[in-house]
Amino acid sequence: MRLFLSGVRTQFWLIRRQPDELLTLCTIPFTVVMMLSIVMHAARPDLVANAFLAPTLIGLWGFATGLATTVLVGDRWIDALPLGMAAPGSLHPVYLGRISAVMVLGVVPLGETWLLGKLLFGVTPAVHHPWVFWAAMAASVFAMIGTSLLLAASMLLSKNSNNYLNFLSFPIYVLSGVMVPVQYLPEFLRPLSDVIFLSWSADLMRDAMAAAPVTAVGWRLLAIVGLGVAALVAGRVLLALTLRRARELGVVTYA
């Protein structure tokens, strides 16, 4: 736990000095404008909730891929990884702490989106089930932390993993239904959506904003958290394997 907290603290120190890393926040207005102008001009008030959710969740994912998942490759880049391996403390709680610190900031896009909607378009969506909404957001942040650890560990495997990650983002936006609800997607893509926690998040949050009662809240939250735990465990195992292999081979990448 101490190592985790030290990771959190260190990442806050790093971010404070690196405001350019918060560039993700600057891309959000564009998504907000795009989504809301489409919805407003099409006169589809039923889709307003969707237009608010997209920038929020894309912002969360953006923080994860832009900042959280690069903590390990970043340390490899500056040659801090072998120094960490030589230290008595284990590395995964430290990196998990650093990732968590970033993802706590992942809530900021939510506020930013609401604010921009009000300022630019004069709309704020109704949230009919605020508790469900916030529970879904919290579960999503947790799942994003787990997923980021997995992505961060995977990124060690390649030398130019940033390219893969950028490539990954758009399919994730589509499959997770943050842009367009999953039920509008071609049938064969749905199973893929089911294993992406963001699709559960988007669905549940959309329902939480609608007036109709939300069904199966517990199960759906569990799905988000469960997928997050799975990613967390997988990330931890992959990191351990990668570090063990580095100790055997003397190299961290494999491609």
Partner 1 sequence: MSVRVRDLTRTYRKGKGWRPKGEEVTALAGLTLDVPANEVHGLLGPNGAGKTTLCKILSTVLLPTSGTAEVLGHDVVTGAAEIRPRIGIVFGGERGLYGKLTARQTLRYWASLYKIPDAVAKVRTGELLARLGLADKADDLVETFSRGMKQRVHLARGLVGDPELVLFDEPTTGMDPVAARDFRELIGELRDEGRTILITTHDMDEAEAVCDRVTLIDRGRVLATESPRGLAAMSGPHRWVEAETSLDVTGIPGVVDTETRNGVLRVKTTDDRAARAVLDFLLDRGVRSVHAVPPRLEDVYLDLIGRRGMEV
Ligand X SMILES: Nc1ncnc2c1ncn2[C@@H]1O[C@H](COP(=O)(O)OP(=O)(O)O)[C@@H](O)[C@H]1O
- Residues of this chain that bind partner 1 (CB under 8 A): 2-3, 6, 10, 13-14, 17-18, 78-80, 82-89, 94, 245-250, 254-255
Distance CA 209, CA 201 (A): 12
- Specify whether the CB–CB gap between 125 and 209 falls below 8 A: yes
216 binds, among partner 1, ligand X, none (CB under 5 to 8 A by kind): none
Of 87 and 115, nearer to partner 1 (C-beta) is: 87
What are φ and ψ of residue 42, in 5° steps?
Answer: -80, -5
User: With contacts defined by CB under 6 A, how many residues of the chain interact with ligand X?
Assistant: 2
**Least distance (Å) between residue 79 CB and ligand X:** 13
Distance CA 149, CA 210 (A): 33
Of 99 and 252, nearer to ligand X (C-beta) is: 252
Of 3 and 107, nearer to partner 1 (C-beta) is: 3
What are φ and ψ of residue 45, in 5° steps?
Answer: -55, -20
Site for ligand X in 211-250 (CB under 6 A): 250
42 binds, among partner 1, ligand X, none (CB under 5 to 8 A by kind): none
- Specify whether the CB–CB gap between 179 and 54 falls below 8 A: yes
1 binds, among ligand X, partner 1, none (CB under 5 to 8 A by kind): none
44 binds, among ligand X, partner 1, none (CB under 5 to 8 A by kind): none
Of 144 and 156, nearer to ligand X (C-beta) is: 156
**Does 251 participate in binding ligand X (rule CB under 6 A)?**
yes
**Least distance (Å) between residue 243 CB and ligand X:** 15
Of 6 and 158, nearer to ligand X (C-beta) is: 158
Distance CA 74, CA 12 (A): 16
**Does 255 participate in binding ligand X (rule CB under 6 A)?**
no
Helix ranges, 177-255 (H): 190-194, 197-209, 217-249
Distance CA 80, CA 248 (A): 18
The DSSP element (H or E) to which 89 belongs, if any, is: none
Distance CA 147, CA 144 (A): 5
Site for ligand X in 145-204 (CB under 6 A): none
Residues across the chain: 255
Binding residues for ligand X, rule: CB under 6 A, are: 250-251
